[in-house]
């Protein structure tokens, strides 16, 4: 059959007998260190599966060198982040919640695949994670009023107690919760000016890694939040014993491992939040934020 101009006619898609089958692109997720997405320096990765054992993606298997690099990035970012005004930190963190809301459908799907829960429960979980991020962001410019004080003294001077961030915080995210647990332990650490090295859930890391993509496209400075994936038993001893880490949250560790990590953290008197000390599954409160604050007392003469 020819077209009116004498040219061969286009084949009709209805008469085509060829059926194309599409192969999904298999993604290999990277680490998030210093605002960049490097592969593990070891070149290793591991398979992440859904609740039924089906393939989801490959995730980078972080090494102790990656952990050291993440601590270095967090320390480098600490000066600028802690010096930012509390109001500005609140704005920056609220922007993360805005982007999370925009990618809500993606996080719902990833949470369902990771945790094997229904659509309604996944929606509730993701909404709770977004709302919790907003809740902590709102506390950025209120902590000083709650934690600080003007102390009564007898003498010609003023005495003030002011909260200050403790420094670099290493966080082991809960193993059972992919997104809500990660947000619940990371947000309270950064809101007060600390920087974080977070190890995502070993078996359910993908929503946390997708969150790092949100962080990279938000206003959060590189190095403020660093996300590692890999074996908890392999990475955590190096984070707990690192001499430039000032606090550790052992929420995602349990049993003998948690005890060993607490001992390792004592080498340079780190602040340690042990599993069960501050239950992340409860409604958010001040406890986790205050755990990473130090009190600085300032004396100032009066009348000069």
Burial profile 216-229: b = 16 or more Cβ within 10 angstroms, e = fewer: eebebbbbbbbbbb
52, part of any domain: yes
Rounded average pLDDT over 27-41: 94
What CATH number has the domain bearing residue 141? Answer: 3.40.605.10
1, part of any domain: no
191, part of any domain: yes
Rounded average pLDDT over 43-69: 93
* Count: domains in the chain: 1
236, part of any domain: yes
The pLDDT tens digits for 207-217 are 999 999 999 99
264: containing domain: 28-301
Whether residue 225 is predicted with pLDDT greater than 80 in this model: the reply is: yes
Q: What is the mean pLDDT of the chain?
A: 90
Grade residue 153 by pLDDT with cuts at 50, 70 and 90: confident
288, part of any domain: yes
Grade residue 8 by pLDDT with cuts at 50, 70 and 90: low
For a pLDDT cut of 90, what percent of the chain falls above it? 71
Stronger pLDDT, 105 or 278, i.e. the higher one: 105
In this prediction, residue 298 carries a pLDDT of: 83
Grade residue 155 by pLDDT with cuts at 50, 70 and 90: confident
In this prediction, residue 26 carries a pLDDT of: 79
The pLDDT tens digits for 243-269 are 999 999 999 998 899 999 999 999 888
The pLDDT tens digits for 88-136 are 999 999 999 999 999 999 999 999 999 999 999 999 999 999 999 999 9
Stronger pLDDT, 12 or 295, i.e. the higher one: 295
86, part of any domain: yes
21, part of any domain: no
14, part of any domain: no
């Amino acid at each position: 059959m020819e077209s009116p101009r004498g040219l061969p006619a286009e084949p009709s898609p209805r008469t085509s007998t060829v059926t194309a089958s599409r192969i999904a692109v298999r993604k290999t997720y990277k680490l998030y260190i210093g605002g960049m997405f490097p592969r593990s320096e070891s070149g290793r990765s591991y398979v992440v599966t859904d609740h039924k054992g089906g393939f989801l993606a490959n995730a980078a298997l972080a090494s102790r060198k990656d952990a050291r690099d993440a601590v270095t990035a967090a320390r480098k970012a600490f000066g600028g982040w802690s010096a930012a005004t509390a109001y500005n930190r609140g704005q920056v963190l609220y922007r993360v919640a805005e982007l999370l809301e925009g990618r809500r459908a993606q996080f719902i799907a990833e949470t369902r695949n990771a945790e094997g829960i229904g659509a309604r429960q996944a929606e509730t979980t993701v909404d709770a994670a977004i709302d919790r991020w907003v809740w902590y962001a709102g506390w950025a410019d209120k902590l000083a009023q709650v934690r600080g004080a003007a102390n009564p003294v007898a003498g010609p001077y003023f005495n003030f107690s002011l909260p200050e961030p403790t420094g670099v915080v290493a966080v082991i995210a809960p193993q059972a919760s992919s997104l809500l647990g990660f947000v619940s332990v990371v947000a309270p650490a950064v809101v007060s000016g600390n920087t974080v090295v977070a190890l995502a859930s070993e078996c359910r890391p993908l929503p946390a890694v997708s969150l790092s993509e949100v962080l990279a496209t938000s206003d959060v400075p590189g190095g403020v939040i660093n996300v590692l994936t890999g074996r908890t038993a392999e990475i955590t001893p190096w984070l707990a014993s690192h001499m430039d880490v000032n606090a550790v949250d052992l929420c995602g560790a349990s049993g003998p491992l948690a005890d060993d990590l607490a001992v390792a953290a004592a080498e340079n008197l780190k602040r340690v939040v042990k599993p069960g000390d501050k239950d992340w599954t409860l409604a958010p409160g001040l406890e986790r934020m205050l755990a990473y604050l130090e009190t600085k007392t300032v004396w100032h003469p009066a009348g000069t």
